[in-house]
Structure 1
């Protein structure tokens, strides 16, 4: 159950303004009944001003009256009709300094093994820019002579689940790497 805003101040208001039991108040605000009793006795929350849950659309007068009439009933928080904004994504991931030089290796591995993977998907998966991906592809990266294609999962740049999800979204089969070409003279 979701808790009301400012639970201690809400408990102060409910104790002062209603005839609810300590158990009912404690259950609603997520506190222990002894702590609610201590608030009622004036031992705790002496300077806290009560927070009116009715004025803030967390409770209705009918809900309080229903619970005052029946000591076994529990208060139910009102569901807000206001649409909450969607949570934003995490945004850019922080890559430790020690792993920053590994990112071009991961990009090179993805470009070599999954050439049909779009650049935005690679950028989102590894937390890099289109410019860096293009430089690794064109071999104009400042450190291109030292770039060795290595699996980004092993490098710790992404998880296997995230890589599989990106590959599925791009129409590739996860884990189906192309077989290396046989070397000259090998039978």
Structure 2
């Protein structure tokens, strides 16, 4: 069960402003019953200002009234309004540490060889690179093209296996004709180009 953001301040407010039992407050906030009794006696957290859980959107007045009428009832934390109206947060651009940036061309070459069904935009999103870099690796005009060895981006730490699997699955659904049926090219051979 989720807990309130500031459990002690919430407990102070509930003790001072409601008729809830110590057990109900302790169960809701995740604190021990003796600590709630100490708050009520003024021995624990003296001087702590209470946090109104109704104003913070954690509880409703009806939920508190329901729990006051039934001492065995448990309080339920309300879903945040921000979670329901705003939806998930937009992802930030992927940051790759300096020590791993030199491995990007190797990961791009691996993806071009093993997963040609991936679109350039998917590779950009997966590795945090640009379409220009992908094209340079594909055409072997990249400044590091002599030293590029195709290596798995998951093992290099540039993306997670779940992210790679998800991108490949989406690409196969979007473009089933691009799924490889012929064997992979040998080490020295050219990489295939799919548009």
Tell me how far apart the structure 2 counterparts of residues 180 and 80 of structure 1 sit (CA, whole Å): 53
Question: CA separation in 2, counterparts of 1:118 and 1:163?
Answer: 13
CA displacement at 1:120 relative to structure 2: 0.7
Unaligned runs of 5+ in 1: 182-187
Paired position in structure 1 for 2:26: 26
**TM-score of the two chains, using structure 2 as the length reference:** 0.76
Residues 173-184 of structure 1 aligned to structure 2 (within 5 Å): 178-180=183-185
Residues 110 and 153 in structure 2, CA contact (< 8 A), matched pair in contact too: yes
TM-score normalised by length of structure 1: 0.78
Aligned match of 1:94: 95
Q: What is the CA RMSD across the aligned residues, in angstroms? A: 2.9
Aligned to 2:119: 118
User: Against the structure 1 CA distance between its residues 116 and 57, is the aligned structure 2 distance closer, same or farther, given a 3 Å change threshold?
Assistant: closer
Q: How many positions carry a matched residue from both structures?
A: 181
Conserved 8 A contact 1:113-1:178:
no
Q: 1:8 maps to which residue?
A: 8
Q: Aligned to 2:86, what secondary structure does the other structure show?
A: coil
* Residue matched to 1:136: 137
The alpha-carbon deviation at position 57 of structure 1 amounts to 4.3
Answer with 1 or 2: which has the greater Rg.
Answer: 1
Change in 2 beyond 3 A, CA 1:129/1:54: same
Contact 1:28 1:76 in 2 (8 A): yes
Q: Who is 1:67 aligned against?
A: 67
Mean CA deviation greater in 141-150 or 34-43: 141-150
Q: Which runs of 5+ in 2 are unaligned?
A: 173-177, 187-195
